[in-house]
Amino acid sequence: MSLETFLIIAHGQTLFSLLGFLLTLRAKPSQSVVRIMGLLFLFSFLAQIGSLALGKPGFDIANPNYSASLYGILEVPLLSWLYFSAVGQKNYGRVFASIAVAFVLFATYNLVFIQKESINSYSLIVGSIITILYSLFYFYWLLRELPTLHLHKFPMFWINSGWIIFSSGNLFLFAFTSYLVNVLNNNLLYYWSMFNFLAIIKSSMIVYGIWLDRQNTKSHS
């Protein structure tokens, strides 16, 4: 894969993150899921800008993996908050909070003492599994509660679908990080291109869900 193709995919994901964030700026306080997704898009955008900047030739201040690793630590707590808000039941609060705290401690330890400057694949694997479990739990809750008969018009359906596709696809990628890097002679273009391609699919589905939420809000105002 050429560097130009990689940059096109990477910049495409960066633009989707920025677009997603901008769409959430006018969300009302009652639209907690949308506002949390706005934070996720914002931090994702900043992490991508950081990785691209640190990865430029001659820019030796820090390893570009640090930017993605820091975002990975923040992602699970924000997703825990998002799914807790989407379900809206206080009895799940301790479960989501406990998972978020445990993950942050594990991912921070992994970044500082274990994988350090390399791709934090251990944290990414655990984070993907947690996200998949959250997504499956939400689908179960959605089918049980059935807030609408037209699920394809329900914003959170698209947001949740985007996350489960992204996490399921990347779980394989994260699990075989060392193999992929070694086979490709430490060429990470394929690795990050696949990651960003899945991220574009996820972001496009989430952006559509946010757009649906805006349409629903307008129709009820």
Q: Is 146 left (phi over 0), alpha (psi -120 to 50) or beta?
A: left
Residue linked to tokens 């379900």: 87
Distance of CA 85 to the CA centre of its chain: 17
What is the total count of domains within the chain? 1
pLDDT of residue 185: 58
**CATH number for the domain including 136?**
1.20.1070
- Extract the tokens encoding 170: 């990347």
pLDDT of residue 95: 95
Q: Is the dihedral of CA 85, 147, 20, 57 positive or negative?
A: positive
User: 150 Cβ partners below 8 Å, 6+ apart?
Assistant: none
- Extract the tokens encoding 119: 């791709």
CA distance 149 to 154: 9
Q: Which residues of the chain have pLDDT under 70?
A: 1-7, 55-64, 148-149, 178, 180-188, 219-221
| Domain ranges, residue 156 | 3-220
Residue 167 identity (one-letter amino acid):
S
C-beta separation of 93 from 48 below 8 A? no
Q: Is the dihedral of CA 181, 187, 190, 191 positive or negative?
A: positive
pLDDT of residue 58: 46
